[in-house]
Amino acid sequence: MELLHGPIRDYAWGSRSAIAALQGRPVPSDGPEAELWLGAHPGAPASIERAGARVSLTDVLAAEPEVWLGDRAVNRFGPRLPFLLKVLAADAALSLQAHPDAKQARAGHAADLARPAGERNYVDPYPKPELLVALSDFEALCGFRDPAASAAALAAFGVPALQPVVAALRSGTAGLRTAVRTLLTWPQQERAGLVAAVVAAPADGPDAALARELAASYPADPGVLVALLLNHVRLEPGEAIWMPAGNLHAYLRGTGVEIMAASDNVLRGGLTPKRVDVDELLRVLRFEVLDEPVSAAHRVSPGVDCWPVPVDDFALHRVTVGTEVPAAELTVAGPRVVLCASGSVTVDDGSGALTLASGQAAIGGASGGPVRISGSGEAYVASSGLH
């Protein structure tokens, strides 16, 4: 295993304490720290040390794809790391967004090559399913809730202009597309007035509180109302949310470990100053109710948990070692990235042991054996989902 140095992305919604505290650095940090990237995505690749210098993991994998990735992963995904592991730390809401499936990504990317750069939605030909596991209490919007509940929430504001949206939602899932389209295509000059009317309404409860919170940052964004059509979930540490293709979602606040297919394809639906392509978003969205957005961990063996997902781009395991379980061994396929999330752990896949402190990460190649983790702490192991 080799020490992996991950860059930190400084998006404005990031925390000034979470990642710094995880890595044992002074708090608050100099600026917002939103995401720690632990992968080979060309947007911000991690690095390893070679001859006293740091070398981009992207370049290392390109030079020796079979050694690091293995034949099976190269045959399935090409000569690239198929997943990206992150620590995400949100102090403010991220944009409402969804991601394409594999077929949509390929077709969209091919079509976008003929379009001006400012009109492109697909920056690569890959899907981007995601799994987030909470490290702290975490709030998010994930998937459509029962349209009847959404209709009641919007009706409670008593805003006459919203009646067509309420009527569409009362027709059930068949009306979800109409409701979302109506809100996202609201006349530009009337949006601020609509959001202001909702905020000023005497309605009370979680939906009203969420609308007011979002409107404080986005006072003329109809995404404030689209957010009320989604499940508002609160995760405890160790709980997860799975976001497959077509799932409309947004993170609100908290710290978590996120793993995804290595892609940058994002279709936004609001709560953002960035471009929103309504037609393309509606084409990708799955207008179905997500009844159970929160997933609990599944125990695999003593000290080892996972959150099964129906894709082979990635798998994520959590290993907890200490007095009760001094060491645990995990067999994973292909390349593996290990993040120490607390305490101190020693990782060894037969290629050399490495001790990690909180916030440090390591990478091992496909030729390594089972990953053995010992010490006292918590680690997350990312790998491909190939079996």
Question: Is 268 a residue of the active site?
Answer: yes
Question: Is 344 in contact with 361 (CB distance < 8 Å)?
Answer: no
Name the 3-class secondary structure at 4: strand
| Cis peptide bond prior to 28, omega within 30° of 0 | yes
Q: Which of 227, 287, 221, 216 is nearest to 251 (CA)?
A: 227
**DSSP characters over 281-317:** HHHH---SB-S--EE--EEEETTEEE---S-SS-EEE
The torsion angles phi and psi of 58, rounded to 5 degrees, stand at: -60, -45
Structure tokens belonging to residue 46: 């991690």
Q: Which one of 268, 299, 318, 372 is the catalytic residue?
A: 268
Residues 6+ apart with CB under 8 A from 204: none
The torsion angles phi and psi of 82, rounded to 5 degrees, stand at: -80, -10
User: In angstroms, rounded to a whole number, what is the distance separating the alpha carbons of residues 146 and 163?
Assistant: 18
Q: Would you report the helix, strand and coil content of the chain in percent, each value rounded to 5?
A: 30, 35, 40
Q: Among all residues, which ones are annotated catalytic?
A: 268
